[in-house]
Amino acid sequence: MVGGALGKIYRNGEIIIEQGQTGDSMFVVQGGRVEVLQNSLKGGLQHLAFLDSGDFFGEMAVFEKEVRSATVRAAGEARVLRIDKKALLTRIREDPLLAVNLLKTMSHRIRHLNEEVARHRKTHL
Amino acid sequence: MHSTQKSVADSFSDFVESEEKDFTLRDGSRIAVVGGGPAGSFFSYFLLKMAQAIDLELEVDIFEPRSFGYCGPAGCNHCGGIVSESLVQTLAAEGIVLPRSVVQRGVESYVVHMDVGDVTIESPVHERRIAALYRGNGPREGGDSELESFDGYLQNLVTGLGARVVPELITGVEHRDDRPYLKYGDGKGGQYDLVAMAAGVNSNIINMLNELPGDYLPPKTTRGYICEFRSTKEEILRILGRAVHVFLLDIPRFEFAAIIPKGQFVTVVMVGEDLDQELVHAFLNDPVVRRTFPTNATPCVCSCSPLINLGARKRPYGDRVVMVGDSGITRLYKDGIGAAFRTGKAAATSAIFHGVSAGDFEKHFWPTCRNIVNDNRVGKVMFATNAIMKNSRLTRKAMLRMAQKEQEKENARPHMSTLLWNMFTGSAPYVEMFRGTLRPGFIYNLLLSVGAALVPGRKKTAQPRKKAA
Ligand SMILES: Cc1cc2nc3c(=O)[nH]c(=O)nc-3n(C[C@H](O)[C@H](O)[C@H](O)COP(=O)(O)OP(=O)(O)OC[C@H]3O[C@@H](n4cnc5c(N)ncnc54)[C@H](O)[C@@H]3O)c2cc1C
């Protein structure tokens, strides 16, 4: 059985969040692995990343009202904990530093995205 | 001329004074944490994390005589071992994932037991977001069971960040040369730039702090009761499932009790302002309680009556001293570990980014404590109302009926279920629960249920509705 004892178990391939849907929570992987995918222009799903224990996803829904920007599904059996937007924002109001951990990951993802864009440009020039 | 000289002298003395009264932590500053329970560990964790983020090098000594690797009282900071939904989520957002070896059961529902029937209240998100765990290495008779202590796990996180755990009892705290001075159990001592007092309420040290700046008074306390019962994993899962079982019983002086399944053990916890052996006996022999127990459960030798914090009497800080967790301010009856997290982190934030004077703590630590204090005031009203409701058979029936109806219907608004869930799990602030009871939907449905309870009917046990796919 996958590590951790909290959250919910998702079976291999089970979708946790779906691109284009609205959401009011973010998620933290407690055990196992999940895969982040995005609809590709040619149709079908394009692999973006794998996330492991301690990684989170869906955090954009906490800060903005946009729809989910990617689909995340279990890669093998995975255990995932949901964090409610309201509970998180209430805690952040008392303790703004709680957002720092989220910002760190978000900034890491922007850096990764920039690198991807730069690589993409190079190969298409 | 004279006046110029005076002004130079004045500025010099101002300078000396401001140098002397420099309350900021610098590279090499020494911090002592008295007590390595959750409050001491959370304080140290955030202190060191924040210090690393701004390239500040601190020396952190955590004084903790207890070894959390031991079974029974020697390794345990006696408590029910429930980590609330809000703390589980906050820890996850902080990047702290509680491992399976620490979490004995992930809890997904609470069963409320009354003489008039039972109701299972499912987690609003149908997920295991509450952890049942052991603070030490399990009960005295635990032996070789596969478990890891929660307090020990936190302590490992902190030593991983560079804190030093000193296995010494602190026997006194003095103020020498404007700095706190700790007396160690071995007769030696040491001076520190900041002392975080995280010794809980079950320690004599909190009665010996009158030499420190500020006018600290130990919090008001009462006794709780905890007893471990042994059964088999299978029997416990069969009878208790993955739920925490709580009781609304009309036993005189009874306030709150829970039965918590943890692997091959069951923890019974009771709290209340007027708890004694007679009340414990009455509770354990109540027919409602007896039918909830695994048939083959035998009490093991591990039981205790720890003190519980009922509210601080003074502000918990002074120059270079701050009280975190139970030694200072905590939530009334619920989520003490969550309060240890909140006060520990707030004190660390103040110390790193603002300073360690009483004024700094007043401005940057006290607001978090004040939120808890104000919320506890509302909590007192909620507990008093609950006491009145649980003492009348009519209102017990009405509460049960309302919660049962909500749990049975797929789209019913869970007014009573949310209230009971939050009240028992400590997942939400008392203010939020109180607001919920003022909603027209809550009042309307409660009145309907009181009406229905007046009509005689048969006793019923609700099955929760099917989980959402
Ligand atoms: C019956 C009962 C049930 C409870 N159930 C729950 C629950 O289910 N969930 C929950 O969240 N809270 C619960 N609580 C509350 C919870 O136990 C406390 O809020 C929590 O332990 C506070 O953490 P702390 O670190 O402040 O203090 P403690 O956990 O008491 O830790 C204090 C530490 O300081 C050390 N120490 C003491 N004196 C000295 C000294 N002189 N020198 C050095 N070290 C010292 C001790 O060894 C100990 O390790 C319960 C409390 C009681 C009484």
Question: What pLDDT, in 10s, does the model give residues B276-293?
Answer: 989 999 999 999 999 988
**pLDDT band per the 50, 70, 90 thresholds, residue B469:** very low
Whole-number Å distance between alpha carbons of A30 and A78: 8
Contacting residues of A for B105, CB less than 8 Å apart: 5
What are the residues facing B118 on neighbouring strands? Answer: B113
Give tens-digit pLDDT for A11-47.
Answer: 999 999 999 999 989 999 999 999 999 998 888 889 9
B2 within domain boundaries: no
Q: How many CB pairs under 8 A join A and B?
A: 82
pTM: 0.92
Tell me which of B378, B396, B416 is where a domain ends.
B378
How large is the greatest C-alpha to C-alpha distance in chain B, in angstroms?
Answer: 98
Tell me which of B378, B404, B424 is where a domain ends.
B378
Distance from Cα A4 to the centre of ligand 1, integer Å: 24
Tell me which of B261, B293, B308 is where a domain ends.
B308
The closest CB to that of B86, out of A31, A53, A87, belongs to A87
What are the residues facing B133 on neighbouring strands? Answer: B103
Give tens-digit pLDDT for B303-347.
Answer: 899 999 998 878 899 999 999 999 999 999 999 999 999 999 999
β-pair type (B30-34, B194-197)? parallel
B273 within domain boundaries: yes
Domain boundaries of chain A, sorted by first residue: 8-123
Whether B106 and A6 lie within 8 Å, measured CB to CB: yes
B1 within domain boundaries: no
H or E element: which one contains B30?
A: strand B30-34
B110 within domain boundaries: yes
- Do B65 and B162 belong to one domain? yes
- Do B114 and B236 belong to one domain? yes
Interface test with A, best of B94, B108, B369 (most A CBs within 10 A): B94
Mean confidence (pLDDT) of chain B: 88
Whole-number Å distance between alpha carbons of B15 and B21: 10
- Do B160 and B125 belong to one domain? no
CATH code at B184? 3.50.50.60
Whole-number Å distance between alpha carbons of B281 and B71: 26
- Do B285 and B233 belong to one domain? yes
Alpha-carbon torsion, ordered B229, B233, B236, B239, to 10 deg: -160
Q: Which of B141-145, B149-153, B202-206 has the lowest mean pLDDT?
A: B141-145
Q: What is the DSSP string of B215-233?
A: ---PPEEEE-EEEEEE--H
Task: Tell whether the model's pLDDT for residue B1 goes beyond 50.
Answer: no
Whether B92 and A81 lie within 8 Å, measured CB to CB: yes
Contacting residues of B for A6, CB less than 8 Å apart: 88, 98, 103, 106, 127-129, 131
- Do B238 and B302 belong to one domain? yes
Task: Tell whether the model's pLDDT for residue B215 goes beyond 50.
Answer: yes
- Do B231 and B299 belong to one domain? yes
Q: Is B59 helix (H, G, I), strand (E, B) or coil?
A: strand
Give the fold, CATH level 3, of A8-123: Jelly Rolls (2.60.120)
Alpha helix positions (H), A1-125: 60-63, 85-94, 98-124
**Which residues have CB under 8 Å from A55's CB, separation 6+?**
A28, A29, A105
B433 within domain boundaries: yes
Whole-number Å distance between alpha carbons of A26 and A17: 10
- How close does chain A come to B187, measured CA to CA in Å? 40
Q: Is A100 exposed, middle or buried (0-12, 13-18, 19+ CB in 10 A)?
A: middle
Mean pLDDT of B81-104: 93
Place of tokens 């040491």: B190
B321 within domain boundaries: yes
| ipTM for this prediction | 0.91
Place of tokens 């007092």: B197
- Do B339 and B275 belong to one domain? no
Whether B128 and A5 lie within 8 Å, measured CB to CB: yes
A1 vs B67, higher pLDDT: B67
Q: A103 — contact with chain B (CB < 8 Å)?
A: no
Distance from Cα B325 to the centre of ligand 1, integer Å: 8
- Do B134 and B273 belong to one domain? yes
- Domain housing B444: 380-453
Whole-number Å distance between alpha carbons of B39 and B111: 30
Return the exposure string of B364-388: e unless at least 16 CB atoms fall within 10 Å of the residue's CB, then b.
Answer: bbbebbebbbebbebbeebbeebee
Backbone angles phi, psi at B88, to 5 degrees: -60, -45
Q: Is A1 exposed, middle or buried (0-12, 13-18, 19+ CB in 10 A)?
A: exposed
- Side chain identity, residue B64: E
Whole-number Å distance between alpha carbons of B80 and B430: 20
B428 within domain boundaries: yes
Structure token pair of residue B273: 């302002």
**pLDDT band per the 50, 70, 90 thresholds, residue B401:** very high
**Which residues have CB under 8 Å from B291's CB, separation 6+?**
none
What are the residues facing B110 on neighbouring strands? Answer: B121, B244
Whole-number Å distance between alpha carbons of A10 and A34: 9
**pLDDT band per the 50, 70, 90 thresholds, residue A2:** low
User: Which pLDDT score, from 0 to 100, does residue A110 have?
Assistant: 87
Kindly list the distances between the CA atom of residue B48 and the CA atoms of B59, B60, B180, B349, in Å, as whole numbers in the listed order: 9, 8, 20, 10
Task: Give the strand order in the sheet containing B130-133.
Answer: B82-83, B130-133, B103-107
B353 within domain boundaries: yes
- How close does chain B come to A43, measured CA to CA in Å? 27
Whole-number Å distance between alpha carbons of B37 and B360: 24
Q: Is B141 helix (H, G, I), strand (E, B) or coil?
A: coil
- Do B42 and B135 belong to one domain? no
Backbone angles phi, psi at B102, to 5 degrees: -90, -40
Tell which one of B268, B337, B341 to mutate to probe ligand 1, the residue whose CB is within 8 A of the most ligand atoms: B337
Whether A102 and B93 lie within 8 Å, measured CB to CB: yes
Q: Output the ligand 1 site: residues, CB below 6 A.
A: B 34-40, 63-66, 77, 79-82, 169-170, 198-200, 202-203, 205, 224, 226, 269, 271, 306, 308, 325-327, 330, 335-338, 340
- Side chain identity, residue B98: L
- Do B339 and B388 belong to one domain? no
Task: Tell whether the model's pLDDT for residue B62 goes beyond 60.
Answer: yes
The number of folded domains in chain B is: 3
